[in-house]
Amino acid sequence: MRVEEFDWINKIYGGNVKIAGKLQALVAIALLGAGFVVAGCKSAPELTKQQALSMIQAKYDATPGTPIDIAVDDRGMQQGVSAGYWVGLKRYPNGYWADLKVTPAGLKAFKLASGKDVIEWRPLSPQDPRYAIAVTSLAAAKLKARSVGDIQDDGANKSVTFTEETDLSALPGPLAQIAHNPGTRLTVKRTAEFVLNNGTWTLQKID
């Protein structure tokens, strides 16, 4: 074989080897890129109801408590008398209006919305089911979360409904009993939203 023919063959096969090498490199890059795509599409971790409840309660535990407004109806007035929270000062001729003096024990447990120490009881009738006065606890009540619903997908986020309950354990026993009467709202339905932060579900907000 002449030298010219050898050079010609070498160029052909040499070129194919270079092309093959380039193809292998491109395939390797493509596979590597696919690996990154798969890694980027890794599924989010599961968010359980217990995890959601724990995050919500941790939020409530970290939030300072606040005094609560308590509706005192006719039954509550009777309970307040039994607890020594107030005593009668004056009874009006119609038989169902009255003025009652808040005792020192009452002043340690609550304050009146009027800022006074006398309750002016003025129902529309002897059996007025809607009439109540408002007192505000001096002790701060905190919140509790319970009854978590099923986890819902909300786009890239997740959400869950739950019951928010006012914890009355910090209040004096008789005042807490009065707060359980109709008129004082102690439970509310809420929705919590969670976002994925660095691969971990975190509580974003509570509505």
The string of DSSP codes covering 43-67 is PPPP--HHHHHHHHHHHHHHSPPB-
Question: Torsion angle of alpha carbons 65, 67, 71, 72, nearest 10°?
Answer: 120
Does residue 28 have a pLDDT over 50? no
Distance (Å, rounded) from C-alpha 77 to C-alpha 173?
15
33 contact partners, CB below 8 Å, separation of at least 6: none
Residue scoring higher pLDDT (35 or 154) = 154
User: Tokens in use for 197?
Assistant: 């932060």
Binned at pLDDT 50, 70 and 90, residue 42 comes out as low
Q: Are residues 112 and 200 in the same domain?
A: yes
Q: Are residues 69 and 36 in the same domain?
A: no
Q: Are residues 38 and 60 in the same domain?
A: no
User: pTM, whole model, 2 decimals?
Assistant: 0.74
Does residue 30 have a pLDDT over 60? no
Binned at pLDDT 50, 70 and 90, residue 112 comes out as very high
Q: Are residues 56 and 131 in the same domain?
A: yes
Q: Are residues 67 and 38 in the same domain?
A: no
Domain carrying residue 53: 49-206
Does residue 153 have a pLDDT over 60? yes
User: Tokens in use for 110?
Assistant: 């609550």
Does residue 167 have a pLDDT over 70? yes
- CB contact at 8 A, 143 and 63: yes
Q: Are residues 60 and 161 in the same domain?
A: yes
Q: Are residues 38 and 59 in the same domain?
A: no
Q: What single DSSP character describes residue 182?
A: T
Distance (Å, rounded) from C-alpha 187 to C-alpha 143?
9
- CB contact at 8 A, 85 and 107: no
Q: Are residues 198 and 100 in the same domain?
A: yes
Distance (Å, rounded) from C-alpha 193 to C-alpha 166?
21
Q: What is the mean pLDDT of residues 170-199?
A: 96
Q: What is the mean pLDDT of residues 123-128?
A: 94
Q: What pLDDT is stored for residue 114 in this prediction?
A: 87
Q: Are residues 27 and 95 in the same domain?
A: no
How many domains does the chain fold into?
Answer: 2
Of all helices (H) and strands (E), which one includes residue 176? helix 173-179
Q: Are residues 22 and 67 in the same domain?
A: no
Q: Are residues 61 and 114 in the same domain?
A: yes
Distance (Å, rounded) from C-alpha 172 to C-alpha 82?
14
Q: Are residues 60 and 139 in the same domain?
A: yes
Q: What single DSSP character describes residue 117?
A: S
Does residue 8 have a pLDDT over 80? no
Does residue 191 have a pLDDT over 80? yes
- For residue 152, report the phi and psi dihedrals to the nearest 5 degrees: -115, 140
